[in-house]
């Protein structure tokens, strides 16, 4: 009798396990439609995750807002395709700003930009231009700086010459020599008798030539840096124009040359009259 009871219990357990296995198997059966729906859901979830990743700011590519500090002065523009930008560096003025135009500087960026090539680095500048306010690439901007000539002749002809400050990288920075030759040092001339205030074009000829990258701007430049200095020694007024007698120094050598400035068609043009040979400085 005991054996019959044990056999009956075993059959009952086996029957329950078989039924549970069948139920579980039935639950695990997945139809083709369910497979398709699952794939679609997974694809949509993956797409959603990708979109979320796109929305996250990248630490490497994020652009911090430009920080500015006060910087006051008047500057002249040199270059082509000069664009006036907003603080997001979007173009405000779709027309090219005119080379030789004057702008009022309001502020200078606290950092340099475009540092991949150090010689191409520059400050951004906030400026007023006509009735517009905007931001300019500092490589186009030359602030009127040091006055180097302020003279008057017997007929009350007044002449002023100013050096300019460049907002890109010069041949020298705070750490020393940079060996960057892309900057320029144009001068701005003011002749009150003719109501002229602006850059002086250079007439290219055999004497002026393109002997140096410093003379490549197309406008008169007088260098003042660790490479060399060009100083106006004398100013002579004539009926035809103005002669500047200039001493050029470089390391332990010097030379003299004369520049003739003539006024025609509303602008000043410079022509090199002569150049002496370089001489060594005797100590």
DSSP 160-183: EEEEEEESB--SEETTEE------
Q: Is the pLDDT of residue 52 over 50?
A: no
SS3 label, residue 75:
strand
5 CB burial (10 A radius; 0-12, 13-18, 19+): exposed
Report pTM.
Answer: 0.70
Q: Please, which pLDDT band fits residue 80 given cuts at 50, 70 and 90?
A: confident
What's the average model confidence in pLDDT over 150-158? 72
Token pair recorded at residue 140: 């186009």
Residue with the bigger pLDDT between 177 and 8: it is: 177
Which pLDDT score, from 0 to 100, does residue 211 have? 45
Which pLDDT score, from 0 to 100, does residue 55 have? 40
Which pLDDT score, from 0 to 100, does residue 59 have? 39
Residue with the bigger pLDDT between 104 and 225: it is: 104
SS3 label, residue 81:
coil
Max Cα distance, the chain (Å): 147
Which pLDDT score, from 0 to 100, does residue 266 have? 93
Q: Is the pLDDT of residue 267 over 60?
A: yes
Q: Is the pLDDT of residue 23 over 60?
A: no
Instruction: For 72-105, give one letter per residue: b (16+ CB within 10 A) or e.
Output: eeebbbbbeebbbeeeeeeeeeeeebeeeebbeb
Which pLDDT score, from 0 to 100, does residue 11 have? 43
Listed range (42-56, 82-96, 97-111, 113-127) with the worst mean pLDDT = 42-56
């Amino acid at each position: 009798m005991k054996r019959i009871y044990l056999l009956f219990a075993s059959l009952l357990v086996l029957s329950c396990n078989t039924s549970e296995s069948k139920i579980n198997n039935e639950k695990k059966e997945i139809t083709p439609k369910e497979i398709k729906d699952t794939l679609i859901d997974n694809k949509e979830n993956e797409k959603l995750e990708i979109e979320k990743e796109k929305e996250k700011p990248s630490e490497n590519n994020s652009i911090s807002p430009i920080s500015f500090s006060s910087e006051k002065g008047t500057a002249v523009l040199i270059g082509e395709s000069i664009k006036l930008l907003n603080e997001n560096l979007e173009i405000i003025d779709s027309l090219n700003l005119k080379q030789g135009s004057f702008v009022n500087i309001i502020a200078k960026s606290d950092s340099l930009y475009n540092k991949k090539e150090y010689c191409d680095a520059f400050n951004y500048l906030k400026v007023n231009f006509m009735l517009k306010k905007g931001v300019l690439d500092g490589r186009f901007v030359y602030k009127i700086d040091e006055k180097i000539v302020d003279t008057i002749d017997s007929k009350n002809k007044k002449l002023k010459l100013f050096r300019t400050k460049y907002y890109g990288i010069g041949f020298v920075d705070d750490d020393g020599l940079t060996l960057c030759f892309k900057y320029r040092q144009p001068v701005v001339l003011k002749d009150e008798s003719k109501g002229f205030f602006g850059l002086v074009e250079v007439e290219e000829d055999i004497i002026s030539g393109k002997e140096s990258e410093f003379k490549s701007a197309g406008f008169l430049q007088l260098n003042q840096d660790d490479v060399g200095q060009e100083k106006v020694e004398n100013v002579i007024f004539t009926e035809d124009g103005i002669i500047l007698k200039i001493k050029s120094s470089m390391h332990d050598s010097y030379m003299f040359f004369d520049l003739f400035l003539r006024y025609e068609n509303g602008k000043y043009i410079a022509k090199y009259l002569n150049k002496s040979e370089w001489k060594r400085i005797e100590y």
